[in-house]
Structure 1
Amino acid sequence: MEIKVNAPAQVISVKPIMLPAPGRGEDLQVRVSAPVTGNELPIIVFSHGFGSSLDGYAPLVDFWAAHGFVVIQSTHLDSRRLGLAPEDPRTPLIWRFRVEDMKHILDQLDLIEASVPGLSGRLDRSRIAAVGHSFGGQTVGMLLGARVLDAHGKPGEDLSDSRIKAGVLLATTGKGGDDLTPFAAEHFPFMNPSFAELTTPTLVVAGDHDQSHLSTRGPDWFTDPYFLSPGSTDLLTLFGAEHILGGISGYDVKETTDESPERVALIQRVTWAYLRNALGLDDSSWAAVRTALEESANPLGRIESK
Structure 2
Amino acid sequence: MPRRATPAMLITALLLAALVGCSTDAPVRRAPAAPAAPAAPEPTAPATPQVPAGHAPKNPYPVGVRDLKLNRDVRALPVRIWYPAAGEDGPVRRGAAAAEGRFPVVMFSHGLGGRPDDYATLLTRWAAAGFVVAAPTFPHTSRGADNNVLDVLNQPADVSYALDQVLALDGKAGDALRGRLDGERVAAAGHSAGGVTTIGLFTASRDERLDAGVVFAGTALGVGTAFAGAAAPQLFVHGELDEVVEYAAGKAAYDKVPWPKAMLSLPKGDHGRALLSDGATLRVVSDTSVEFLRWSLYGDPAAKKRIPTDATRGDIATFDDHL
TM-score (norm: length of structure 1): 0.74
**C-alpha distance in 2, partners of 1:223/1:64?**
25
Change beyond 3 A, Cα 1:292–1:128: closer
> 1:119-155, CA deviations, whole angstroms, 9 ceiling, x for partnerless residues?
210111100000010000000101012xxxxxxxxxx
1:1-306 pair list within 5 angstroms? 6-15=58-67, 17-22=68-73, 25-36=74-85, 37-84=99-146, 91=148, 93-113=150-170, 114=172, 118-145=176-203, 158-173=204-219, 191-198=221-228, 200-212=232-244, 218-231=246-259, 233-244=261-272, 246=274, 248=275, 250-251=276-277, 261-293=279-311, 296=313, 298-306=314-322
Shift of 1:280: 4.1
Secondary structure class of the residue paired with 1:108: helix
Change beyond 3 A, Cα 1:80–1:276: closer
- For 1:132, the aligned partner's letter is G
**C-alpha distance in 2, partners of 1:280/1:7?**
14
Change beyond 3 A, Cα 1:282–1:288: same
Shift of 1:80: 4.3
**C-alpha distance in 1, partners of 2:174/2:119?**
20
Secondary structure class of the residue paired with 2:78: strand
Q: Is the CA contact 1:203–1:274 (under 8 Å) kept in the aligned structure 2? A: yes
Q: Is the CA contact 1:41–1:124 (under 8 Å) kept in the aligned structure 2? A: yes
Secondary structure class of the residue paired with 1:167: strand
Q: Is the CA contact 2:266–2:317 (under 8 Å) kept in the aligned structure 1? A: yes
Q: Is the CA contact 2:287–2:310 (under 8 Å) kept in the aligned structure 1? A: no
Shift of 1:82: 4.7
**C-alpha distance in 2, partners of 1:59/1:302?**
23
Shift of 1:284: 0.9
> 1:95-138, CA deviations, whole angstroms, 9 ceiling, x for partnerless residues?
23211110111221355455995321011110000001000000
Over the residues paired in the alignment, what is the CA RMSD in angstroms? 2.4
**Which stretch shifts more, 5-14 or 42-51?**
5-14
Shift of 1:209: 1.3
Q: Percent of counterpart pairs with the same letter?
A: 28
TM-score (norm: length of structure 2): 0.70
Change beyond 3 A, Cα 1:105–1:50: same
**C-alpha distance in 2, partners of 1:290/1:116?**
42
Change beyond 3 A, Cα 1:278–1:111: closer
Q: How many residues were matched structurally?
A: 250
**C-alpha distance in 2, partners of 1:53/1:292?**
27
Secondary structure class of the residue paired with 1:50: coil
**C-alpha distance in 1, partners of 2:321/2:189?**
19
